[in-house]
Amino acid sequence: MTATKGLEGIVAATTSVSSIVDGVLTYRGYDIDDLADHATFEEVIHLLWYGKLPSNSELNRLKGELSASSAVPSQVFDLIRLIPQATNAMAALRTAVSFLALYDDEAGDMSREANLRKAIRLQAQIPTIIAAFARLRVGQTPISPKEGASISENFLYMLKGEQPDLIAIEALDKGLVLHADHELNASTFAARVTVATLSDIYSGVTSAIGALKGPLHGGANEAVMTMLEEIGSIDNIEPYVKQKLANKEKMMGFGHRVYKNGDPRAKHLQEMSRELGKLTNDLQWYEMSVKIESMMYALKGLRPNVDFYSASVYTTLGIPRDLFTPIFAISRCSGWVAHILEQFENNRIIRPRAEYVGQSDLKYIPVELR
């Protein structure tokens, strides 16, 4: 038995949710470029969960269900109030999502119908939790969800306490479409491993949030912004990047296990970063990002991944840096759920083997003789 570090190249599941073939990402057969240009996040949720783009009435039904489910039990606010102010937002989200299960009467019902109902509640309530956490930690009152609003509009509304403009809603929505699913990424794998034991959907999503939090996965978008702020100005880029690479440190937002010639989502976010920068008359982060991108390609042959330009996009939208990864979770919840449902449909426990490299043939010595 020989281990494959990081399971690189191992095909661990079959799926019809999404695919990456020759650098092209598709959700249920639709190219991400097509969806990014035309679909709303709610349409993508329908596509991922029910296997097809919705008709008008199906879309309205789903939007109505999501909107009607977006309020959280009041105990969740009580929990959030107990969370220390300096807590990492993903740690807070992970805790609150796990807590939500305790107030869901259907938490233990494993039928597909109940799982879909819980999925709607999770998808609708994660944005409410993040916005409430962001407000409560600075002493502001949480804002109740706005009836009939899309997930993007509602999230920005609950976060800022005012009606967001259309450009911001559309930009966030496109970001959610682009992050919704990505084959067997680390957090989706974590979700599938968890529910393959026949544990429940809340456990699966809680595991996934924990995996997404790390800076090698979803946490990279926040780390990119930290890096941009640390660099500070375009003149500091060259020495900063050279130093990082000389120290064999990772530049956040670059590289990918699967894409070797560029992440197809990055170009959309780059364009959004430029357009939003122009609109707000603040192209600093965009211009710095472009320079870093060209240096990284010249020096390392590495292209940006989805997290690189999302940092400047969300910053230009006025979103606090530590909410970038939670926003990723709002989007990826849709993909996690699709994979969890698929895992339940054709389940087998996921239990690989390990190559043992420790000592052997040791003999027990009584504690007083050690």
Q: State the nearest-atom distance from the C-beta of 35 to ligand ACO, in Å.
A: 17
Q: Among residues 133 and 324, whose Cβ is nearest to ligand ACO?
A: 324
Q: Among residues 45 and 180, whose Cβ is nearest to ligand ACO?
A: 180
Determine which one of 179, 256, 268, 339 is catalytic: 256
288 binds ligand ACO (CB under 6 A): no
285 binds ligand ACO (CB under 6 A): no
256 catalytic per annotation: yes
Instruction: Return the beta strands (E) in the chain as ranges.
Output: 18-21, 24-27, 30-31
Q: Among residues 142 and 253, whose Cβ is nearest to ligand ACO?
A: 253
216 binds ligand ACO (CB under 6 A): yes
Q: State the nearest-atom distance from the C-beta of 275 to ligand ACO, in Å.
A: 22
* DSSP result, 284-348: HHHHHHHHHHHHHHHHH---B-HHHHHHHHHHHTT--GGGHHHHHHHHHHHHHHHHHHHHHHT--
257 binds ligand ACO (CB under 6 A): yes
- Sequence length of the chain is 370
Q: Is 221 left (phi over 0), alpha (psi -120 to 50) or beta?
A: alpha
Q: State the nearest-atom distance from the C-beta of 309 to ligand ACO, in Å.
A: 12
312 binds ligand ACO (CB under 6 A): no
Tell the residue number behind the tokens 């997290």, with chain if given: 307
Rounded CA separation 87/161 (Å) = 22
Tokens of 336: 């996690």
277 binds ligand ACO (CB under 6 A): no
Q: To the nearest 5 percent, what fractions of the chain are helix, strand and coil?
A: 60, 5, 35
Determine which one of 104, 307, 322, 339 is catalytic: 307
**Contact 214/187 with Cβ under 8 angstroms?**
no
Rounded CA separation 192/201 (Å) = 10
Which positions from 49 to 88 touch ligand ACO by CB under 6 A, shown as an x/- string?
----------------------------------------
Rounded CA separation 240/98 (Å) = 40
151 binds ligand ACO (CB under 6 A): no
Which one among 164, 253, 264, 277 touches ligand ACO, defined by CB under 6 A? 253
300 binds ligand ACO (CB under 6 A): yes
264 binds ligand ACO (CB under 6 A): no
Rounded CA separation 350/89 (Å) = 30
Which one among 171, 196, 237, 302 touches ligand ACO, defined by CB under 6 A? 302
307 binds ligand ACO (CB under 6 A): yes
23 binds ligand ACO (CB under 6 A): no
254 binds ligand ACO (CB under 6 A): yes
Rounded CA separation 220/218 (Å) = 5
237 binds ligand ACO (CB under 6 A): no
CA nearest neighbour of 171 among 276, 30, 325? 276
3 state DSSP class of 254: strand
**Contact 203/26 with Cβ under 8 angstroms?**
no
Stretch that binds ligand ACO, among 23-31, 148-156, 301-309, 337-345 (CB under 6 A): 301-309
307 catalytic per annotation: yes
Active site residues: 256, 307
Q: Which residues bind ligand ACO (CB under 6 A)?
A: 6, 185, 216-218, 220, 250-257, 300, 302, 305-307
